[in-house]
Amino acid sequence: MMVTFVSQCQKKALNRTRRVLDAFANRIGDNTWQTVITEDGLTAVKKLLRKTATKNTAVSQLLDRGERIQAAIADLKINDDSWHRVKVEVRWMI
């Protein structure tokens, strides 16, 4: 089957995604790949992409499925880099 992959990843996740998809498909744009692939090959791509997923990806997948999560600020730090100022603890409510 002919498959087109379109990535909406950013930052580090985009580099990880590119490494995986470049191994299986031809890049036809910055974030787009296309290839003829078997179902087994598609399963392998899915497995590798899940393996490289980040914690943020896991949280967003829970939210997409409608799962209940609870978040709280665990730590605050003074830092020029806004990505390192706040530590958030996320709990999956089962």
Domain limits, the chain: 1-53, 54-94
**What pLDDT shows up at residue 89?**
83
**What pLDDT shows up at residue 36?**
95
What is the pTM for the complete model shown?
0.57
Tokens of 35: 């290839």
**What pLDDT shows up at residue 74?**
87
**What pLDDT shows up at residue 6?**
92
> Which CATH number among 1.10.580.10, 3.40.718.10, 1.20.120.1200, 3.30.70.240 corresponds to the domain 1-53?
3.30.70.240
Contact status, residue 41 vs residue 55, Cβ threshold 8 Å: no
**What pLDDT shows up at residue 18?**
92
Low-confidence ranges of the chain (pLDDT < 50): none
Distance CA 45, CA 40 (A): 9
- Determine the Cα angle at 59 with ends 55 and 60, to 5°: 115
Backbone angles phi, psi at 30, to 5 degrees: -60, -40
**What pLDDT shows up at residue 46?**
87
Contact status, residue 71 vs residue 86, Cβ threshold 8 Å: no
